[in-house]
Amino acid sequence: MGNYAIAIHGGAGALMTGTVPAEKQKAYNDKLSEALQAGYNLLSHEGSAIDAVEAAVRVLEDSPLFNAGKGSVFNCDGVNEMDSAIMNGKTLKAGAMASVHIIRNPISGARAVMEKSKHVLLTSAGAEQFAKECGLEIVDPSYFYDEERHAQWVATKNNDVDYSWSGDGIPDGTKKFGTVGAVALDNHGNIAAATSTGGVNNKKFGRVGDSPIIGAGTYANNKTCAVSCTGEGEYFIRNVVAYDISALMEYKGMNLAQATAEVMKKVALLGGEGGLISIDAQGNISAPFNTSSMFRGWINTAGEKYTGIFH
């Protein structure tokens, strides 16, 4: 096979083995497989890592199974509010959007920021105006509505609890951090990372997590690795997780597995939960998580495909 590979995630959480019906597990794995194939098909035809991660994430954004794009969770005002980021490991160019409500595929909005503006992060109405000027697909906010997500919000919107630890706010109390992401290596030796999320169920005060923060939830550098994170974003921001992995590789000579393990240990020591996917310039893949589950999958340089939910 070629020297290219891709890995994706659909969020980490506290789902336990035996709690997800077989047909639902199949639906998750089928969609992960579809997203992987969308990115891998581009890579196998000399496509770029940037094209691959955007394509994979768009598949996940278009599925109500994951907390990104269609099917994003609701904030405290009952609105879907999304964040995204993308980064090119060859050029270190990056783009991100936060608190957007009408862009069908926020990840494509992030790419537009990277390629068609002088900026890195655009937010809210300004980001949406930019997306319109770039000709991205704009939809009515009702497009993002999902009945199951709405029921989760209704069940938790009056809870007098710290919203940031309520995950998806699933009524039975199960935590699930539904961010989606992709990392890829292409035939030209370039790597890229992309992340997209609906954030935290019932989030207040315009909260923004780690996903659109370059170096926290998303990072790519051809010298080292590409990383996309999922979990309790505040901890990933405070630990500058994605960049820290790259720095450990560049400055301390750690390999990918060592660096990801070290950084996830730091997250856990502060009390944070979550996981990440990563790939290095040789196509090695690492996907550690300290929760009981993480939707994830990859196709490695040998062309071998894997998808899974539990440890």
- So which residues are the catalytic ones? 179
Amino acid type, 272: G
Q: Which long-range contacts link 307-310 to residues 24+ away (Cβ below 8 Å)?
A: 307/29, 307/32, 307/33, 307/36, 308/29, 309/15, 309/20, 309/25, 309/28, 309/29, 310/15, 310/17
**Residues 164, 244, 2, 311: is their CA dihedral positive or negative?**
negative
In the DSSP assignment, the letter for residue 72 is: P
In the DSSP assignment, the letter for residue 289 is: B
Pairing, β 94-100 against β 191-197:
unpaired
Task: Measure Cα distances from 253 to 217, 245, 278 in Å.
Answer: 22, 11, 16
In three-state secondary structure terms, 87 is strand
Rounded to whole angstroms, how far apart are CA atoms 183 and 8? Answer: 6
